[in-house]
Each structure stands twice: as structure tokens, then as C-alpha cells.
Amino acid sequence: MSVSPARALLSGRVCRCTSSKLPSASPPKSSPHLTRLLSSSTQHNEPTSPQPSFSSPIPTYGSSELLRRKYQKTVDRETDVRKDKAERARTVKRMRWAGYGIAACTLAIFGTISLYPDPRKETQAALSSTAEEKPPSSVVRLDAPPSITSSIVDPSSKPQDAEQIPTGTSSIPFFPRIIHIASDAPPSTPASANEGSQSDVEYQLVGLGIRTVSILSIQVYVVGLYVAVPDIAALQQRLVQAAVPPSESVATTLVPSEKSHLKELLLDPDRGEEIWNDIVKDGGLRTAFRIVPTRNTDFMHLRDGFVRGVTARSAHFASDRHDASFQDESFGAALNEFKSAFGGSARRKLPKGDILLLARDAQGKMTVWNEDSKKGDRIQMGTVADERVGRLLWLGYLAGKNVSSEDARRNVVEGCMEFVERPVGTVATQVV
């Protein structure tokens, strides 16, 4: 069968168009009618815009990636909410337990204050019950050794109207300028022989200060030095002799330049120690230290501090001044006697405001007194006959490189300046 030239030309054109649209496909082997239909449908169905690809970075609506992201956000939000609730619950729990702890501590403090027994009331009750069972001569104190119970009560300790000297602390605001101490010792000077009864000797305040400890300057007690009024003339004479050369020892008072020189000597660690050591050792003076604690304490605590000071001072005299008089056995026995005067190992209380009085007579015998600040009763706790113990204890407040209270030492020196500016034999009308 022969093919016309027009049909052959048309068939070739259709084949070229088909091969250009589908390069990988082989030329169709079909009838001319099917070829024309395929060519016509191919030309009319060409795409006008690119189709979206599943590899595009933007997820389409309803895709698994978009659903996963929405679900992940919901899960994260719910997790954060649960964490916030748990943290809030823990905070509330801690605050509740802290409140319980504060309430418990408050109740414990009030319970301790209200239920803590007063040692003085217990002592009075014990004394009353014991006195009912035994004769008065055999009454035994339960809070102190027998040496205290059998001691002497000083009748001169009752409160009297006296001028009050400010101390500089609100805990113990005032010290009396004049106190009275019973003494059965013989007169120390001719002037004191005319004072009448030896059971009530008047003492005048020379100076006072506050004892502090640690770098925080915690106040422990207020201490003041008193001297018997009849012995002030002897103290004046000894101070004048320390400032004036021996060739001018007839002087009875000091001029301002001599007062300044004496003040420097008393404040000097070495010279001041020499002067006070001579005065206290054989000056024939009756002196006393009045100590009032600014907080509740006990006699054992004070006693240990005194013993440490006396021991350190004795070692200083032995090593620096080559004085071996404090290294023998008799001095050790005297120190034990001093410990016994404070009650030995009994931890007897000394409440705030009560008074510890250390009195030293003209021969150096020291007597320890305890005075109730409310009742005014003064009880003798014990005595120490060896003058060396009292002398070292006195020097611990008056002289040396390290003193128990620097304020007290300087105030005592100022009081001595008031003495030496008056003629020997006159009594200062105002001290401190």
C-alpha cells in the first residue's frame, strides 16, 4: 500500500513533537488517528504552574511535620505548667515548716523563761526547810561551801544615802562615792585611831572603770577602787614622795608640773608598777575593790580570771624583776586559800547587779564579801592572810603593761591627781 507524501510529512512531524515531550519514551506504534489524538491532548494539557514538591521546607496543611510541631508545643507547655506547680508547692511547704520552727522556738523561749527556777528562791527555801529541822548553828547552805555559811554578816552594808558617781554603762549606771566596810583590824595610822569603832570604816571612791573582753568589747563588770578615808593622808604622802626627789620630801602638795610628772610615772608600765607595788606592799593602807557584774555570772568564772591574772603577774615578777618570792610553796598554799574563799569547786551564782567586794586591810589580809544588791545584806565568804595574793591582784588593776581594765587604771590615776593637789592630811571632797 502506497503512502501519500502529505501523510508521510504529517506523521514525521507528529513523531518529532512526541519525542520532544517524552524523551525517554519510544515512538508510538499506533494508527494515525491515535497519533493525532495523543498529539492534540498533549498540547492542550501542558502544565501552566509548577506542582508542589514534598521536599519543600514549608510543611503543607495537614502534613505530619506540622502536626508533630503542634503536638510538641502542647506537651512543652503542659510540662512547664507542671514544673511551676511543683516548685510553688515546694516553696509553700518550706515556708510552712519555717513558720512551725519559729513558733516552736518562741514557745521554747517563753517556756524556759517562765519555768527556769530562781536560784535565790531555791536557796531561801532550802535554808527555811533546813532551819526547821536543825538548830540555827547547824544550818548549811546548799549552794555554797560551809565556809560561806559560817561567815560574818557585815552590819555596815545596809543601803545608805550616798552620792552616786556615773559609771558610763546603762547596766550598772552608778557607784556610790562612799561605802562602809566592817573591820576588826587595829588602826593602820594615828589618824585612824581616832575614828572610833573599828566595825564600820568609811571608804571613799578613787576611780572606776568597765572590764571588757574580746575584740567586741563585751562588758563583764564595773570595778572601782576605794580607800579608807582615814588612810587618804598616807596615800597622799606616798604619791608625793614618788614624784618629788628625796631632798624635797618635805613637800605636802604638788605643783602642776609635778602632777604631770607623777601622772606619767603612774601610767608608765614599769615605773607605775614599782610605785604601786611599794604602796600596796607596805603602805599601811586599807583599800577595797568593788566589783558589780553587768550580766549574770558565777563566782567560779570570776575566780578563774583572778587566778590567771595573779599567776601571770607572779611569773612576770620572777622572770622580769627577778623576784622569787612568789615561787615558794607558801604562795601556792595562799593561792589555794584564795580559791577556797570563792567557794572551791561550787558553781555559786552571782546575778547581775550583786556586789563582790575584795577588801584589803593595812597588814595585807584580804577579805572576800558578797553583797545582795536588793536586800543589802553582805556576807563574808572567806579570807586570805598572805598579802602577796592581794598585792598581785591589786596590781592587775593598777599598773603594768596589761591591766584588767584600762579605763579603771586611768580613772584611778585621775583620782590620785585630785588627792595630790591638796595638802597632805586633807580629804578630797570630790573624786572621779
Predicted structure pTM score: 0.62
Mean pLDDT (whole number) for 309-326: 89
Mean pLDDT in residue range 287-312: 92
Query: How far apart, in whole angstroms, are the C-alpha atoms of residue 280 and residue 363?
Result: 10
Half-sphere CA count of 415, side-chain side, radius 13 A: 26
Q: Are strands 366-371 and 355-360 parallel, antiparallel or unpaired?
A: antiparallel
Confidence of residue 16 (pLDDT cuts 50, 70, 90): low
How far is Cα 348 from Cα 247, in angstroms, rounded to an integer? Answer: 53
Instruction: Say what the pLDDT of residue 346 is.
Output: 59
SS3 content of the chain, % helix, strand, coil (to 5): 50, 15, 35
Q: Any idea of the CA torsion for 317, 322, 326, 329, to the nearest 10 degrees?
A: 150
Question: What are the distances in angstroms from CA 337 to CA 330, 331, 343, 392?
Answer: 10, 10, 10, 15
Q: Which residue has the cell 554603762?
A: 169
E strands present in 91-192: 153-154, 164-166, 174-176, 178-181
Three-state secondary-structure class, residue 358: strand
- Distance between CA atoms of 279 and 281, rounded to whole angstroms? 6
**Nearest-angstrom CA–CA distance, 60 and 246:** 120
Query: How is residue 320 written as a grid cell?
Result: 622580769
Residue 316 belongs to what H/E stretch? helix 299-320
Whether 272 shows a pLDDT value over 70: the answer reads yes
Alpha carbon of residue 137 to chain centroid:
44
Q: How confident is the model at residue 204 (pLDDT cuts 50, 70, 90)?
A: very high
Which is higher by pLDDT, 56 or 235?
A: 235
350-405 pLDDT tens trace:
899 999 999 999 999 999 999 987 887 888 999 999 999 999 999 999 998 889 99
Helix runs in 192-328, H state only: 232-243, 256-267, 269-282, 299-320
Query: 345 pLDDT exceeds 60?
Result: no
The pLDDT-based confidence of 259 (bands split at 50, 70, 90) is: confident
Q: What is the pLDDT of residues 125-149, one digit of tens each?
A: 444 544 444 444 333 333 434 344 3
Provide the grid cell at 159. Answer: 543601803
The grid cell for 47 is 502544565
Which domains are seen in the chain, by residue range?
Answer: 164-186+199-421 (3.50.70.10)
Res. 432: pLDDT tops 50 = no
Q: What are the strands, taking DSSP E only, across 301-354? A: 349-350
Half-sphere exposure of 219 (CA within 13 A, CB side): 19
Q: How far apart are CA 229 and CA 426, in angstroms?
A: 10
CB 315 within 8 A of CB 366: no
The residues, ordered by sequence, that sit 6+ positions from 328 with a Cβ below 8 Å of its Cβ are none
Residue 279: name the closest of 394, 378, 383, 160 by CA: 394
Tens digit of pLDDT for each residue in 396-410? 999 988 899 999 999
Question: What confidence tier does 29 reach under pLDDT thresholds 50, 70, 90?
Answer: low
In whole angstroms, give the CA distance from residue 201 to residue 154: 11
Three-class SS of residue 292? strand
Q: Alpha-carbon distance 413 to 332, whole Å?
A: 31
Query: From CA 109, how far away is CA 38, in angstroms rounded?
Result: 106
Each residue's pLDDT tens digit, 145-171:
434 434 566 666 665 567 899 998 888
